Amino acid sequence: MKRHVAIVTGGTRGIGLGVAQALARDGFDLTVCGMRPAEAVAETISELEALGTDVLYVPCNVADRAARENLLQQVRDRFGRLDVLVNNAGIAPRERKDLLEASEESFEEVMRTNLQGPYFLTQRAARWMVEQKQADADWWGCIINVSSISATVASINRGEYCLSKAGVSMATQLWSARLGEFDIPVYEVRPGVTATDMTSGVKEKYDKLIADGLCVQQRWGVPDDTGKACAALARGDFPYSTGQVIMVDGGLTLPRL
């Protein structure tokens, strides 16, 4: 039997790498993409391959249409199939600025990368998945959108990021509704405060907040927390839960008195 194939965007660092590692442990062959040249991620790719998986690395800016097309074509050429798409790649604003000061340029850059790119990558990947389903009724696959608690938790010094993640949440609902007739589930995984290079600059701030009770589980999240959630979805452990949100936030958004 051919091994199942997953794409993980932004899959060479942070949460994306945690997802890629979890899928590799579950026996998926992988295509991971990122912004760095291949030589810069060679060690990471070797570590994934050591888990027993076939790994293709494709440099890809998901905000660029041609780069997205190239990504999917390379997957077709290498593996000939696609079973799981994990839309994980995302950026924070280059500068955290108050809503009254933030620029349109920052808004456009974040929205293109975090929302527009994944939305249209999903469109093309979904067409391919539908083709596979129509050719083989036993084929099963899914789409997983990695968003953030910022989809619902307001941060007034990075409004463009919050809006992009809220858009990803609606995109999950839209694609799950559209692909329901083909039994292709679409999920959203919503991490909380997670220790990555993106959050390294605010470590001291969140160390204190977590110690003071920000989360019910008083620790930082780690990429493997999100990875394990995505792996369960990719395996098909939640086949009747399309459109749903899996919270991976240690209880941060749990209403409390």
User: Of residues 57, 147, 150, 161, which has the active-site annotation?
Assistant: 161
Longest dimension (CA), the chain: 56
**pLDDT (tens digit per residue) in 175-209:** 999 999 999 999 999 999 999 988 888 899 999 99
**Mean pLDDT value across the chain:** 97
Of the listed 148, 150, 164, 176, which one is catalytic? 148
- Rounded Cα gap, residues 158 and 169, in angstroms: 17
State yes or no: is 161 an active-site residue. yes
Percent of the chain with pLDDT strictly greater than 70 = 100
From the list 164, 165, 169, 187, the catalytic residue is 165
CA distance 74 to 24: 19
Question: CA 183, CA 71: separation in Å to the nearest integer?
Answer: 24
Residue 75, pLDDT > 70, answer yes
- Summarised one tens digit per residue, pLDDT across range 145-170 is 999 999 999 999 999 999 999 999 99
Query: At 21, is the pLDDT very low, low, confident or very high (cuts 50, 70, 90)?
Result: very high
pLDDT of residue 53 exceeding 80, the answer is: yes
Encoded amino acid at 114, one letter: N
Range 203-221 average pLDDT: 96
Q: Compute CA distances 40 → 14, 35, 37, 45, 49, whole Å.
A: 15, 10, 6, 10, 16
Residue 8, token pair as written in the block = 């993980």
Give the model's pLDDT for residue 2: 82
According to CATH, the topology of domain 5-245 is Rossmann fold (3.40.50)
Rounded distance between C-alpha atoms, residue 136 and residue 212, angstroms? 53
What letter represents residue 134's amino acid?
A: Q
- Spatial strand order in the sheet of 55-59: 55-59, 29-34, 5-9, 84-87, 142-146, 186-191, 245-248
What average pLDDT does this structure show over 70-85? Answer: 98
Task: Indicate if the pLDDT at residue 1 is higher than 70.
Answer: no
pLDDT at 200: 85
Each domain of the chain, given as residue ranges in start order, spans: 5-245
Q: Examine the pLDDT at 44 and tell me if it is beyond 70.
A: yes
Give DSSP secondary structure letters for 96-159.
Answer: ---TTT--HHHHHHHHIIIIIHHHHHHHHHHHHHHHHHHH-TT---EEEEE--GGGTS--TT-H
Compute the Cα dihedral for 130, 66, 110, 219 and give only its sign.
Answer: positive
Residue 130's pLDDT band (boundaries 50, 70, 90)? very high
Task: Provide the terminal-to-terminal Cα distance of the chain, rounded to the nearest Å.
Answer: 53
Nearest-10 crossing angle of helices 42-49, 14-25: 20
pLDDT > 90? residue 144: yes
| 141, 129 contact by CB (below 8 A) | yes
